[in-house]
Amino acid sequence: MSLREHLAAGKFAVTCEVGPLKGTDTGEIKEIAHLLKGKVTAANVTDQQSSVLRLGSLVVCHLLKDEGLEPIFQMTCRDRNRLALQSDLLGAWVLGLENVLALTGDLPVLGDHPGAKPVYDLDSVQLLGAIKRLNEGFDLSGNELKGKTDFFAGAVVNPGADTEAAFEMQLIKMEKKIEAGAKVFQTQGIYDLDAFARFIKRVEQYKVPVMAGIIPLKSAGMAKFMNKNVAGVFVPDPMIEKMTAAKDKTQMGIDIAIELIKGLKDLCQGVHIMAIGWEKKVPQIVEAAGLSGVAT
C-alpha cells in the first residue's frame, strides 16, 4: 500500500529519513532498506541535507524502490533552476517514484561547499505549483506534456514557531502550500505534546494529513544545541534532565522518542522519524511504540 493510499484509508503512517552517503558506496543504503522494509510506510531521501555534498536523492530513491521500500523524493530549490527541477521530476516519475517533498533548502554557506552559488529560482510553494502543473499535463510555461505525472506532493511546517507572529506566518505558508497542491505535511521535531495539540486544533480545518516530526535525542548536549540553534524546536527541561541523568543515553533517547510517538497517535495522521544517523534503530522504535504493521 502506497503512502497516498495509506493516508486515504485513515491509517496511521510512519515515515523516516534516509541520508545518502558522501561517495558511491551504496552498500549501507541497501542494508538500511532491508531493515526498514515492512517497518515504515515510506522513507524520505534527503537532498544534499544541510548543504553538504552527498549522493543524489533521485538515485537513492531509485535504489530504495528496487529494494522494495517506498521512497519520498525530497527536492530543494537551492541547487536547480525551474528547468532542472521539472526535468528531474519527469525523470523521477519515469523511474516509478510517486512521492515528492518540496523544500526551499538550506543556504550553501552552511555546508561543506560554502562558496557554492545558490539558485532559488523557485521557492517551496512555487515548486509545489510546478508539481501540480506537471500532474495536470503541463510545464510551468504552459506547454503540454507528452505523458503527465501523478505525484503525491508533500510539504513541511513548523508547529513550534518561536513567537506568535512566526506561528501565524507558518499557518499562512501552510495555506499557500495547500493551495499550491500539498497533500500531506511533515513537521519539525516535536517535544511538547500540549503545544502540538494546540497547533493541530488550528489546522484541522484544512483537512490535510499532518505527520509529526520525531528526532530521537542522543545527548543532553544535542537537546541544548537544538534549543539554541534550531528555529521552532524546544526540548523541555525535564527531558534534558532525563538525558543528563541517564547511564544509557542511547536507550533514554529511544525511550523518549517512543513515549512521544505514543502521545501523538491520537493527535495526527502519522509520525516522521528523523533518526540522523540512527536509521538502523528505527525498526526498534516503531515496534516498541506499537506501530508494527504500518507498512501494510
Q: What is the 3-state secondary structure (H, E, C) of the chain?
A: CCHHHHHHCCCCEEEEEECCCCCCCCHHHHHHHHHHCCCCCEEEECCCHHHCCCCCHHHHHHHHHHCCCCEEEEEECCCCCHHHHHHHHHHHHHCCCCEEEEECCCCHHHCCCCCCCCCCCCCHHHHHHHHHHHHHCECCCCCECCCCCCCEEEEEECCCCCCHHHHHHHHHHHHHHHHHCCCEEEEEECCCHHHHHHHHHHHHHHCCCEEEEECCCCCHHHHHHHHHHCCCCCCCHHHHHHHHHCCCHHHHHHHHHHHHHHHHCCCCCEEEECCCCCHHHHHHHHHHCCCCCCCC
The mean of the pLDDT values for the chain is: 95
Q: Is the pLDDT of residue 295 over 80?
A: no
Q: Is the pLDDT of residue 216 over 80?
A: yes
pLDDT band at 293 (very low <50, low <70, confident <90, very high): low
Instruction: From 105, 142, 139, 109, select the one nearest 123 (Cα to Cα).
Output: 105
Q: Which range, of 25-29, 53-57, 258-262, 290-294, averages the lowest pLDDT?
A: 290-294
pLDDT band at 168 (very low <50, low <70, confident <90, very high): very high
How many residues are listed for the chain in this entry? 296
Q: Is the pLDDT of residue 114 over 90?
A: yes
Percent of the chain with pLDDT over 90: 93
Reported pTM: 0.96
**What does the pLDDT look like over 245-280, one tens digit per residue?**
999 999 999 999 999 999 999 999 999 999 988 999
β-pairing, 42-45 vs 99-103, is: unpaired
pLDDT band at 232 (very low <50, low <70, confident <90, very high): confident
**Which of 226-230's residues contact partners 24+ apart within 8 Å by CB, and which partners?**
226/189, 230/188, 230/189
Q: What is the pLDDT of residue 262?
A: 96
Q: What is the pLDDT of residue 84?
A: 98
Q: What is the pLDDT of residue 294?
A: 73
Region 5-13: what's the mean pLDDT?
Answer: 96
Region 225-244: what's the mean pLDDT?
Answer: 93
Q: What is the pLDDT of residue 164?
A: 87
**What does the pLDDT look like over 80-104, one tens digit per residue?**
999 999 999 999 999 999 999 999 9
Q: What is the pLDDT of residue 105?
A: 94
Region 223-248: what's the mean pLDDT?
Answer: 93
pLDDT band at 161 (very low <50, low <70, confident <90, very high): confident
Q: What is the pLDDT of residue 259?
A: 97
Q: What is the pLDDT of residue 5?
A: 97
Q: Is the pLDDT of residue 189 over 90?
A: yes
Q: What is the pLDDT of residue 49?
A: 92
Q: Determine the Cα–Cα distance for residues 284 and 238; give it in Å rounded to an integer.
A: 24
Q: Is the pLDDT of residue 77 over 70?
A: yes
Region 158-186: what's the mean pLDDT?
Answer: 93
Sorted by where each starts, the structural domains of the chain and their CATH numbers stand as: 3-288 (3.20.20.220)
